[in-house]
Amino acid sequence: MPEYEDFTSIPVGKLGIIALPGCEQFASKIDYYLVKWRKERESEHKDSIQFTGYERDSYIINASFPRFGTGEGKCVIKDTVRGYDVFILCDPFNYGVEFKMYGREVPMSPDDHYANLKRAISAVAGKARKITVIMPMLYEGRQHKRSSRESLDCADMLRELCLSYGVDNFITFDAHDPRVQNAVPQNGFENVQPVYQMIKAICRNIEDINISKEHMMVISPDEGGMGRCIYFSSVLGLDLGMFYKRRDYSVIVDGRNPIIAHEFLGTNVEGKDVIIIDDMISSGDSMIEVATKLKELKVNRIFICASFGLFCNGLETFDKAYKDGLISKVFTTNLIYSTPELLSREWYVNVDLSKYCAYIIDTLNHDESVSKLLDPKERINKILEKYGFETH
């Protein structure tokens, strides 16, 4: 049984992938799967003119992003893109990429990555048949609503890319608030959840895990993340608990109202393993406070699942929490940059989504529906059956 899909439609155009600085390694993993699948895929039409360039040694388009001494940059695309179905990978949060400005090494900020994305689209210069941007974590995605006189950068970004730069489709993962797609209602916007990959990683990395209502529970660290937690708990057949963040709305610290306390809402968690699920770990302070509260309620082990591990304040907080027995494992994806220090930690598991992204790109290039990829219920049941757990 092949691991790829046998499509019945012809490609939209020749497939091309542009990896922005910092996305090269992730792009090469995606490219590996696409090259493998398309060589193995049997089709009576593979030699027809519609499939010209379908089977290649690599689908990555050679693009460079040189800088002038002032820090100003440009994009140079060195391969043809005329008639191509172009997918551009952008990780705005990769601070591991640096460039020289006035002789100094400067880490790239989200604004720098976003500028590079616009440069890449501009360099394509309207020659591509279709442009899809894959931005796993949305640029300015946390600035999703206006509560006073302030900018709405994420909505502005989507409108600029889709209306001014001609982007056809936008793919992101676990958006902080997917309603931001309302800024571009006429354009394709897919918000993908890495639920299946997380569950598979949990089953593979925790040998004595027992996924049952009597032994495990799903916890949302705040009311805003209940949507993703409801899906997790439903497919695993587990009870759901939630923490309510009590904030001081009279004060603003670092751009937000400080949290006074976390109040737990849910059934008895004593003696159970719990999975805390969130879209991101930023500083991690809130996550550690939730874990501390759960330990006070006498839970057994605590596993943390977050799509994006930013760890803005370093790893020391989590090192201490692991040493003190507060947390057992932290799972985040490889959709954004992870430091070598993070990857080496005993408490950390990096969840690979390159194969999943390759599936999405392959399907979209054939202009087929991605609905079955976005709803992983069947695949989750298979992985639960494989490890001997009850399906729901």
Contact call for residues 353 and 334 (beta carbons, < 8 A)? yes
pLDDT tens figures, 325-341: 999 999 999 999 999 99
pLDDT of 193 higher than 80: yes
Give the least confident one: 51-55, 60-64, 154-158, 337-341: 51-55
> In the predicted model, what is the mean pLDDT of residues 249-270?
76
Question: From CA 223, how far away is CA 234, in angstroms rounded?
Answer: 17
Mean pLDDT, range 194-198, rounded to an integer: 94
Average pLDDT score over residue span 368-385: 89
Calculate the average pLDDT of the chain.
90
Residue with tokens 């610290």: 253
Q: What's residue 54's pLDDT?
A: 87
Give the pLDDT band (50/70/90) at residue 44: low
Instruction: Give the pLDDT band of residue 3 (cuts 50, 70, 90).
Output: low
Q: Give 249's pLDDT tier (boundaries 50, 70, 90).
A: low
pLDDT value at residue 389: 85
> What string of H, E and C letters represents the secondary structure of the chain?
CCCCCCCCCCCCCEEEEEECCCCHHHHHHHHHHHHHHHHHCCCCCCCCHHHCCCCCCCCECCEECCECCCCCECCEECCCCCCEEEEEECCCCCCCCEEEECCEEEECCHHHHHHHHHHHHHHHCCCCCEEEEECCCCCCCCCCCCCCCCCCHHHHHHHHHHHHCCCCEEEEECCCCHHHHHHCCCCEEEEECCHHHHHHHHHHHCCCCCCCCCCEEEEECCHHHHHHHHHHHHHHCCEEEEEEEEECCCCCECCECCEEEEEEECCCCCCCEEEEEEEEECCCHHHHHHHHHHHHCCCCCEEEEEEEECCCCCCHHHHHHHHCCCCCEEEEECCCCCCHHHHCCCCEEEECCHHHHHHHHHHHHCCCCCHHHHCCHHHHHHHHHHCCCCCC
Query: Using an 8 Å Cβ cutoff, are 307 and 196 in contact?
Result: no
* Amino acid identity, position 386: K
pLDDT value of position 2? 55
Per-residue pLDDT for 173 more than 90? yes
- pLDDT tens-place string over residues 341-369: 999 999 999 999 999 999 999 999 999 99
Question: Given this model, what pLDDT does residue 195 score?
Answer: 93
Give the pLDDT confidence score for residue 265 in this predicted structure: 82
pLDDT tens digits, 120-149: 999 998 899 999 999 999 999 988 788 788
pLDDT interval class at 307 (50, 70, 90)? very high
d(CA 363, CA 357): 10
pLDDT tens digit string along 78-113?
Answer: 999 999 999 999 999 999 999 999 999 999 999 999
| Residue 311: Cβ within 10 Å count | 22
Residue type, 206: I
> pLDDT at residue 223 above 70?
yes
Q: List the beta bridge partners of residue 316.
A: none
Cβ 88 vs Cβ 128: under 8 Å:
no
Least confident span in 20-24, 49-53, 290-294, 373-377: 49-53
Query: How large is the average pLDDT for residues 17-22?
Result: 97
Query: Percentage of the chain with pLDDT > 90?
Result: 70
What's the pTM? 0.92
At residue 1 the predicted structure's pLDDT band, cuts being 50, 70 and 90, is: very low
